[in-house]
Structure 1
Amino acid sequence: MIIMFLIFVLAHCLSDFIIQTDSIIKKKQDNSNRVFNEGIFIHIIHHFIIGVMLLVLFGNIKINLVFALIIICFVHYFIDLLKIKYDEKMIEYTKNDESWRKNIFYFLLEKRTILFLLDQTVHILTIYMVLKFFNYVFSINEIASLVIDFYQDAITISLTTKITSVAILLILLTWGSSYLIAEFFKDIKKELNMNPEITASIEDHQQGENLSLIESQINALHRNITVERTWEFSASENEKRSIKIQFQNFNEADNNSVGKYIGIFERILIAIFVFLGAYQGLVLLGGFKTLTRFKQFEDKSFAEYYLIGTLFSMLIGVTIGEIIKKIVMN
């Protein structure tokens, strides 16, 4: 009975983390004040189509399962509607209202990472509750007992269950964790008070009239950059003087998709190293990653930001890699 739950979770992961594009997310945000949200509607249509395709693929297409999928998609719509409408408002409200700081939920509600995990938990619980209503899943106690037996090698899981489980874990390892890490970075960036900082070194102060203009242009780029310019001029007939200006902006994270794909490949490699038991590869991978950011470690805030993010990404990669290894070797 666990396979049906895994199929529905796989459909959710595919629609939420892979099929959902940036344009769909933008449509969600643009229609956040409407009951009919075009972006969310497109998203749940994708969810329904993927769910039906998986049921057909696994040979489990039945009327009651299709009806269960419709209910799950319907609830999914309103969960996303509430999230897109209230998550930013909730964060701002708890931040600005001093009375909330004494509330036990303040720490949780102001964190985007927690809100993301809460949203995904509600989706998974919805799938479980709907399937439980149709008697397609075990009780919580039975599932807990199965998990314990699995880790004690007391049961053997089927090939279909292995394939479905590994597919879900691979999605979480790559695209799913990218969403989570993006939210996590927003939280730690706020905790570290990482505002863009510009530093400059001038070897001749007499030539610094255009410093503020250059600084504002560099700052407007909002990227991790180092810019260095050197000029040489004649102070007299027999003397030449030079001026060098260097600007650095290391605190601001790169706002492009390259970092996301690097993170995905990084976690894939971590999981492969863990699966093969080649843990020394993690050290090599960390070394290569550090070399690409070596100059930026001059900024203490960036170094802290980089270290926390790297450790979090490695924790995800190692954890999922170990679970995949356990499932495949069962």
Structure 2
Amino acid sequence: MVELFLMLILAHLIGDFLFQPTAWVKDKKKRKLKSKYLYFHVGLHFLLLLFTTQFNRHYLFAIILIVLSHFVIDSVKLFFEKKKTTKIWFFADQFMHFGVIAAVVYYYYPYQIPFEILYSSKSLALLTALILVTYVAAIVLKLMLSKWSVPIAKKNNNDTNNAGKYIGILERLFIFFFVLIDFWEGIGFLLAAKSIFRFGDLKESKDVKLTEYILIGTLLSFGLGILCAILYKQFVFFN
């Protein structure tokens, strides 16, 4: 089962990412079903699937089903995708492709999804910790740093985006998993790297409030990441 799944996934990744030039993508978006590259793309997937399954006739039904579904999914995406929904359609497209592969593997090798593991206390604790360390922590930090962030936003004409929010989420996730694997050196490296990238901004701005905002925000963010990780480890240890 695992071998078949890996063979099908490998073919998909090579066909959708490694062997799909940007020119093909642009032409497909422009010409849709009239684009020859749509059919080249589907044909390439067919050849890759044959190759990765070692031309085994036993999997011929799976190959045909995957190729046909790939054509349908890509065609639907081409007609309904807009500039504003590009990201959504990218992930939806990949999700549907992987769903078809999972269904095909199930047809040949029926398997059970261990839902009981998903509802175990450790899994629920991990999910809770991840939500806390990402989005809940982001809201808490926003409230705690409002004293500094509001004046800075006004000074910059509210010209802000959500990049800082997602950078904070990613850094806390790294910290969370660094603590779980007892790789405390990684936290020091992350702090040093962030300090280096921020040094130029602080040096040029010469803004005390901006400096305070960045330093306090960084320390609080790191502290929340470490705290959530330690609490999760303690919960797992006593359960």
> Under a length normalisation based on structure 2, what TM-score does the superposition of the two structures give?
0.50
Task: For 1:179-198, list aligned pairs within 5 A.
Answer: none
User: 1:138 and 2:110 equivalent?
Assistant: yes
Task: For 1:100-179, list aligned pairs within 5 A.
Answer: 112-132=86-106, 135-139=107-111, 142-144=112-114
Q: Partner amino acid for 1:126?
A: V
The SS at the match of 2:110 is: coil
Deviation at 1:79, TM superposition (A): 0.8
Mean Cα displacement is larger for which, 3-12 or 282-291?
A: 282-291
Return closer, same or farther for 1:281/1:88 CA change in 2, 3 Å cut-off: same
User: 1:87 and 2:85 equivalent?
Assistant: no
Q: Residues of 2 paired with 1:31 and 1:147: CA distance?
A: 46
Q: Residues of 2 paired with 1:124 and 1:143: CA distance?
A: 15
The answer to whether the Cα contact below 8 Å between 1:31 and 1:39 also exists between their aligned partners in 2 is: no
Unaligned runs of 5+ in 1: 92-109, 153-198, 200-248, 254-268, 312-330
User: 1:292 and 2:159 equivalent?
Assistant: no
Deviation at 1:86, TM superposition (A): 0.8
State how many pairs are aligned: 160
- 2:46 aligns with 48
Q: What are the Cα deviations for residues 15-46 of structure 1, in whole angstroms up to 9, with x where unaligned?
A: 223332322222222223xx243232222233
Q: What are the Cα deviations for residues 156-178 of structure 1, in whole angstroms up to 9, with x where unaligned?
A: xxxxxxxxxxxxxxxxxxxxxxx
Return closer, same or farther for 1:145/1:113 CA change in 2, 3 Å cut-off: same
Q: Residues of 2 paired with 1:113 and 1:25: CA distance?
A: 14
The answer to whether the Cα contact below 8 Å between 1:2 and 1:138 also exists between their aligned partners in 2 is: no
- 1:72 aligns with 66
Q: What are the Cα deviations for residues 247-293 of structure 1, in whole angstroms up to 9, with x where unaligned?
A: xx998x9xxxxxxxxxxxxxxx99xx799853422441453255235
The answer to whether the Cα contact below 8 Å between 1:44 and 1:77 also exists between their aligned partners in 2 is: yes
Root mean square deviation, CA, Å: 4.4
Q: Partner amino acid for 1:10?
A: L
Return closer, same or farther for 1:280/1:4 CA change in 2, 3 Å cut-off: same
Q: Residues of 1 paired with 2:179 and 2:95: CA distance?
A: 27
Q: Residues of 1 paired with 2:117 and 2:21: CA distance?
A: 34
The SS at the match of 1:80 is: helix
Task: For 1:1-330, list aligned pairs within 5 A.
Answer: 1-32=1-32, 35-56=33-54, 61-88=55-82, 91=84, 112-132=86-106, 135-139=107-111, 142-144=112-114, 278-285=183-190, 287-289=192-194, 291-292=196-197, 294-296=199-201
Q: Residues of 1 paired with 2:20 and 2:117: CA distance?
A: 31
Deviation at 1:123, TM superposition (A): 0.8
The answer to whether the Cα contact below 8 Å between 1:128 and 1:137 also exists between their aligned partners in 2 is: no
Structure 1 or 2, whichever has the larger Rg, is 1
The answer to whether the Cα contact below 8 Å between 2:50 and 2:56 also exists between their aligned partners in 1 is: no
Q: Partner amino acid for 1:127?
A: I
Return closer, same or farther for 1:11/1:279 CA change in 2, 3 Å cut-off: farther
Q: Residues of 2 paired with 1:21 and 1:275: CA distance?
A: 40
> Under a length normalisation based on structure 1, what TM-score does the superposition of the two structures give?
0.38
Deviation at 1:119, TM superposition (A): 1.8
The SS at the match of 1:48 is: helix
Q: What are the Cα deviations for residues 70-123 of structure 1, in whole angstroms up to 9, with x where unaligned?
A: 32112112211211221217x5xxxxxxxxxxxxxxxxxx6x544332221111
Q: Partner amino acid for 2:45?
A: H
Q: Partner amino acid for 1:128?
A: A
Q: Partner amino acid for 2:113?
A: I
Q: Partner amino acid for 1:137?
A: Y
Return closer, same or farther for 1:88/1:274 CA change in 2, 3 Å cut-off: farther
Higher helix share: 2
Q: Residues of 2 paired with 1:51 and 1:9: CA distance?
A: 9
The answer to whether the Cα contact below 8 Å between 1:37 and 1:81 also exists between their aligned partners in 2 is: no
